[in-house]
Amino acid sequence: MSSNLATKLRVGTKKAHTMAENVGFVKCFLKGVVEKNSYRKLVANFYFIYSAMEEEMEKLRQHPIVSRINFPQLNRKHTLEQDLVYYYGGNWREQIKLSPAGEAYVQRIREISQKEPELLVAHSYTRYLGDLSGGQILKNIAQTAMNLSDGQGTAFYEFDEIPDEKAFKVKYRQALDELPVDDTTGDRIVDEANAAFGMNMKMFQELEGNLIKAIGVMLYNSLTRRRTRGSTELATAE
């Protein structure tokens, strides 16, 4: 049985995908403007979100639909824990908390797991396929922007159990197409994927204020240093 769900999701979420990429925080990130405190808050949110998604998918490992796209090698909870140790230290569990948008995201995952578990397909697709597709690019940007050593703070982007990411994406899309879903269910999954993009956008928008503030402080400090240096040079000249 082929539902063409992979194509439906790709085409049906194209607009939402573009909108998410045009949120200020993401545009700054893609241009190499990454502020460590804002980024670690995003990592903390992701930890709660992926933990919820992976816990719910594991509960549904016998479900006729969800079980078919449950690939343990995609799981990100452990890699996010590694990154949180780097950014917050060993007591990271006492320091991190969900933002309001992150909390709404987690609640949605828990809710559909109980009421409409097939919609978890949308969240798996939105998160994991995006991680596989742009992960290495984002990793390189993060390393350069935050001056990270290789392997520090970027475990999230490493899929050690997937040697060929391109081949795995083909496998994943094939699994989507083989899901036993009718057109109505497929449309609901696409709608949920668009909602997932919207939830991601709200998280990014929350972080924009922190990022703008941090950039402002950096610019102010830079200008202050220049003025101080200029005054010193002037005094020396006199």
Q: What architecture is domain 5-208?
A: Up-down Bundle (1.20)
**What pTM, to 2 d.p., does this model score?**
0.88
For the stretch 94-140, pLDDT in tens is: 999 999 999 999 999 999 999 999 999 999 999 999 999 888 888 99
Three-class HEC string of 70-102: CCHHHCCHHHHHHHHHHHHCCCHHHHCCCCHHH
For the stretch 124-182, pLDDT in tens is: 999 999 999 888 888 999 999 999 988 899 999 999 999 999 999 999 999 999 999 99
E strand or H helix at 51: helix 36-59
Q: Would you place residue 217 in the very low, low, confident or very high pLDDT band (cuts 50, 70, 90)?
A: very low
The SS3 of residue 24 is: helix
